[in-house]
């Protein structure tokens, strides 16, 4: 356990990150911008040109402040890194190259074992490879959450919510995009899941400041901000995109 003074300092820093996240009122110009030029001006004014960089600063603050939570935070961050792995995999296959050669480039990285496994099991089958990578990343995150002590129940619930949403997306993609009969299940209401996660994130700030939950909550709120901002930038007054926008806003402070 960290000294109480160090935890109090970390908690203050992570609450500072939360205070810099956009609220609905802050983001109002994003909702009203109706063309590309207006949206560019708003994005510049709100300093949102690089939303992912803003997110990485939140991760860095959490990792520095809560060393005992670093494995969990890095497993969350790997959900982004695995997207890069998947992208490189797709590009390799489309160029007609062997994925075995690509797998060798992941030696001495956290992805060495899974890359070799996927190359051996699925070869150039992009759909199966992507599902395998996604499942691996989700399981890594779930494993880290389950290693947390009993008192970190809320942190586990937050992480389990993320994994549950990812599983729902795997079901949707597997059935709709790839026609994979090996991926089955009843479609879940992702919007409701995100709203429930937002409720849990808010709850994290009325509990003990000596837990990881506030840091996990701020990371997830920052993740949702990136999702929401991207959806708003894409919308630009196009009402046909409103259903997708509402799903993107559901877990974010921008939708509150």
Give the pLDDT confidence of 211-229 residue by residue, as tens digits.
999 999 999 999 999 999 9
Count Cα neighbours of 131 within 13 Å in the Cβ-side half-sphere. 24
Q: Is the pTM of the predicted complex or chain greater than 0.75? A: yes
Collapse the DSSP code of 117 into the 3-class scheme (helix H, G, I; strand E, B; otherwise coil) and give the result: helix
Is the pLDDT reported for residue 184 higher than 80? no
* Interval 67-78 mean pLDDT: 97
Residue 186 pLDDT level (bands cut at 50, 70, 90):
low
The average confidence (pLDDT) of the chain is: 91
Is the pLDDT reported for residue 164 higher than 90? yes
Instruction: Give the pLDDT score at 185.
Output: 54
Gyration radius of the chain over CA positions:
19
Please, which contacts does 147-150 make with residues 24 or more away whose CB atoms are closer than 8 Å?
147/71, 148/72, 148/212
Query: Do 214 and 15 meet the contact criterion of CB atoms below 8 Å apart?
Result: yes
In the chain, % of residues over pLDDT 90: 80
What are the sequence ranges of the domains in the chain?
4-208+222-239
* Interval 147-175 mean pLDDT: 90
For residue 124 the two structure tokens come to 């150039």
Is the pLDDT reported for residue 251 higher than 60? yes
Instruction: Give the pLDDT score at 207.
Output: 84
Is the pLDDT reported for residue 183 higher than 60? no
Instruction: Give the pLDDT score at 176.
Output: 55
- DSSP letter assigned to residue 109: S
Is the pLDDT reported for residue 180 higher than 60? no
Residue 193 pLDDT level (bands cut at 50, 70, 90):
very high
Compute the C-alpha angle 185/199/203, nearest 5°.
130
The separation between the first and the last C-alpha atoms of the chain, rounded to the nearest angstrom, is 35
* Interval 31-46 mean pLDDT: 93
Is the pLDDT reported for residue 7 higher than 80? yes
Handedness of CA 20, 23, 29, 35 (dihedral sign): positive
Residue 101 contacts by C-beta under 8 Å, 6 or more apart in sequence? 92
C-alpha span between 104 and 82 (Å, rounded)? 16
User: Is the model more confident about 50 or about 178?
Assistant: 50
Query: Do 75 and 59 meet the contact criterion of CB atoms below 8 Å apart?
Result: no
For residue 19 the two structure tokens come to 């205070």
Instruction: Give the pLDDT score at 177.
Output: 53
Q: Which residue's entry shows tokens 């999702």?
A: 227
């Amino acid at each position: 356990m960290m000294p109480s003074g160090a935890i109090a300092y970390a908690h203050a820093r992570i609450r500072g990150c939360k205070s810099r996240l956009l609220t609905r009122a802050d983001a109002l110009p994003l909702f009203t911008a109706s063309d590309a030029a207006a949206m560019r001006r708003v994005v510049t004014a709100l300093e949102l040109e690089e939303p992912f960089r803003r997110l990485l600063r939140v991760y860095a603050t959490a990792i520095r402040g809560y060393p005992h939570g670093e494995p969990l935070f890095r497993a969350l961050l790997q959900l982004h890194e695995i997207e890069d792995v998947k992208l490189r995999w797709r590009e390799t296959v489309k160029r007609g190259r062997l994925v075995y050669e690509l797998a060798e480039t992941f030696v001495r990285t956290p992805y060495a074992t899974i890359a070799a496994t996927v190359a051996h099991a699925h070869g150039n089958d992009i759909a199966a490879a992507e599902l395998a990578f996604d499942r691996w990343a989700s399981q890594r995150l779930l494993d880290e959450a389950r290693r947390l002590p009993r008192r970190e129940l809320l942190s586990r619930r937050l992480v389990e919510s993320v994994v549950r949403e990812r599983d729902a997306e795997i079901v949707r993609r597997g059935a709709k995009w790839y026609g994979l009969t090996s991926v089955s299940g009843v479609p879940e209401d992702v919007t409701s899941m995100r709203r429930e996660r937002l409720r849990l994130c808010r709850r994290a700030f009325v509990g003990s400041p000596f837990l990881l939950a506030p840091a996990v909550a701020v990371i997830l709120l920052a993740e949702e901000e990136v999702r929401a901002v991207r959806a708003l930038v894409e919308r630009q007054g196009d009402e046909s995109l409103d259903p997708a926008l509402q799903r993107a806003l559901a877990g974010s402070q921008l939708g509150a």
